Structure 1
Amino acid sequence: MTFSTQITPAENEVATLILAHGAGAGMHSDFMADMAIRLAEQKITVIRFDFPYMQIMTETGKRRPPEKIDKLEAHYLAQIDALRSSVSTPLFIGGKSMGGRVSTLILDQADVAGSVVYGYPFHPPGKPEKLRTAHLEALSKPLCIIQGERDTFGTKGEVAQYPLSSSIETVFLQDGDHSLKPRKASGITFDDNMATAVSATVTFINRHIHD
């Protein structure tokens, strides 16, 4: 299995976070790169990786759909196994949207301390009946979901109604969309929401480092 990774090392690191990308943009996207830098500044080393279909997209320049979810899960688990021996601090996993969802599907079986998701895709936009929450109801390991209040994949009002496991905490970003971006009229900036997302991530990871 071929792996494509990017490490953003932290000085005096206290934890390591493996981050998977969303469906349409890989590990080098602005969001992924920005989040990695911000977290590294907070003593969390970030390892980003591309799923196989994204590696092919990068090589060919042609868009491809993601592999089926079971293949994405298998690749994420293999990625963890490949990195485990080189990681000396508590290991967490997570990701943006689709990548984050995959991390939650493997969380209970993976040798990791917890997961952080930025923009969980609770359902496809416009299809609130097609929920992707069944496994979240019985999750036992710690999970932090950082969600925009008006995310079309799951708004604050919608998420409040889901019967999620008590091991899950949700943090809502003011007026944020699926990319965590607020509207200008809100008076909140994207940088504000990113700073809140980083703060929530650091607080969550520090709380569960010694679990």
Structure 2
Amino acid sequence: MAETVETEAGAARITWHRAEKARLVLAVSHGAGGGVEARDLQALARTLPGQGVTVALVEQPWRVAGRKMAPAPKTLDAGWRGIWPALAGPGLPVVSGGRSAGARVACRTAAGLGAHAVLALSFPLHPPGRPEKSRAEELLGAGVPTLVVQGGNDPFGRPAEFPEGSYELIEVPYGDHGFAVPKRAEITQEEALGVLTGGVAQWAASLG
């Protein structure tokens, strides 16, 4: 079920994948280079409702409007804040999540919105080849329980590059920034997504 929500950044869209007996809502948004059709977001939407987690796939206003370039971070944050009342409406704890740029938005806004936790998929720790341009402060400043799921070959930050902190981190072996694995890898694409969805499900089940 799709729902349009007006925000100060424009109209956003939420596609609900509801659990029959939900205990929490996982709201996840896309990155700057794609939409909610991303393989990791779709895998979560297929898998988690069967485990008591309602998944809300959120399209930021710039994507709904058909624009190809993501706006400035403050505009992304405004769009996310604007959809929050709709996410929290069912009265369940809401995990704030996203992939890439969406993960940064979730980290920046979590504490202010009262998010139950943060799921950061493919957190862009730094631009490719520019480790000195670290965005670790955003991740470390989330202020709520946080899970990072990162591809082993992500050019925006491999798991070993992440600083110590109070968050948890799951590595998807061989995965790139979109969790794609090469055909020569020792695991299949389906198995890689299973690492992601299984890890997120286990973490979600552990949240108080």
Fold conserved (TM > 0.5)?
Answer: yes
Query: Which residue is equivalent to 2:69?
Result: 65
1:173: which partner in 2? Answer: 172
Partners of 1:110 and 1:49 in 2: how far apart? 16
Report whether the alignment pairs 1:81 with 2:90: no
Aligned to 1:136: 139
Distance 1:16 1:187 in 2: 33
- Change over 3 Å in CA distance of 1:70–1:132 after alignment to 2: same
C-alpha separation in 1, matches of 2:147 and 2:40: 18
Match of 1:108, SS state, is helix
- How far the C-alpha of 1:187 sits from its partner, in A, is 1.5
Instruction: Indicate the structure with greater strand content.
Output: 2
Structure 1 spans left out of the alignment, 5+ residues: 58-62
Per-residue deviation, 1:76: 0.7
Change (3 A) 1:138 1:51: closer
Whole-Å separation in 2 of the counterparts to 1:154 and 1:186: 19
TM-score if structure 2 supplies the norm length? Answer: 0.89
Identity %, equivalent residues: 26
- Cα deviation, residue 35, structure 1: 2.2
Q: Which runs of 4+ in 1 moved over 4 A?
A: none
Match of 1:26 among 35, 39, 42: 35
Residues 143/183 of structure 1: CA separation in 2 closer, same or farther (3 Å cut): same
> Quick one: distance in 2 between partners of 1:110 and 1:13?
21
How do residues 1-211 of structure 1 correspond to structure 2 at under 5 angstroms? 1=7, 2-57=11-66, 63-85=67-89, 87-159=90-162, 162-163=163-164, 165-166=165-166, 168-208=167-207, 210=208
- Count of aligned pairs: 199
Stretch deviating more after TM superposition (114-123 or 39-48): 39-48
